A and B are shown apart, each in its own frame.
Chain A
Amino acid sequence: QKEVEQNSGPLSVPEGAIASLNCTYSDRGSQSFFWYRQYSGKSPELIMSIYSNGDKEDGRFTAQLNKASQYVSLLIRDSQPSDSATYLCAVNTPGGADGLTFGKGTHLIIQP
């Protein structure tokens, strides 16, 4: 059974601070890793994808992957109230549906 675990939160962070979101996964065969943002009542929207160990930066967002520890994280610098949302970690393991296994999401609140 493939599992993706996230702390459900809520995670409360002051405006301007760094928000750190974490995710662990169970299947060592996983190869692709994604972070989606979902606003209430809306569909998931891709924020970051990462395929190899290390850091990947895109604007205020940095994704970090450690395959040995089966751990992936998302850092949001200079957090804004508009970053308040649920963040979904998703992992792709080849084979079968070749789809994504999602965590249940972390609810992030940026306090003005």
Chain B
Amino acid sequence: NAGVTQTPKFQVLKTGQSMTLQCAQDMNHNSMYWYRQDPGMGLRLIYYSASEGTTDKGEVPNGYNVSRLNKREFSLRLESAAPSQTSVYFCAARRDRGRTSGGVGVGTQYFGPGTRLLVL
């Protein structure tokens, strides 16, 4: 049970290049999220997907596209990378039903290990 996985762990791009960040979860949760984290800015929501086949914009969607390929996978694409997109990107899956024996319930988000992206 790996939880949430992300690839790659680290990437360097030149301005204008494109890339796709991959995310997969094995927890069978419906909702998935992409965040970016920048110093002093906290975690900001880029896009989210409430269920397979649906996606919606978050707080900072410009310059990004997403695909919810199936229930497990949610990818983030940068079509033409810019230095302002240098950041750490986290994918998360949200518990949408039930509660664990430890009292962890609906709304909890589980994060992947992150992708560090540097755009030169």
Contacts and interface: CB of A to CB of B under 8 A. Distances in A.
Interface of A: 31-32, 34, 42-46, 49, 51, 56, 58, 88, 90, 92, 97-100, 102-105
Contacts of B83: none
Interface in B69-120: 90, 94, 102-114
A53 to B, nearest CB: 15
A102 B42 contact: yes
B25 interface: no
Interface residues of B, number: 26
Contacts of A97: 33, 45, 48, 50, 56, 58
Contacts of B112: 43
Interface in B41-82: 41-43, 45, 48, 50, 56, 58
Contacts of A43: 90, 111-114
Contacts, number: 62
A58 B104 CA distance: 11
Contact of B102 (A42, A58, A100, A105): A58
Contacts of B103: 49, 56, 58
Nearest to A91: B107
A59 to B, nearest CB: 10
Contacts of A103: 42
Q: What 6 A-B pairs come out closest when comparing CB atoms?
A: A32-B107, A104-B42, A92-B107, A43-B111, A102-B43, A97-B48
Contacts of B33: 97, 99
Given A43-B90, A97-B48, A34 B43 contact: no
A44 B108 contact: no
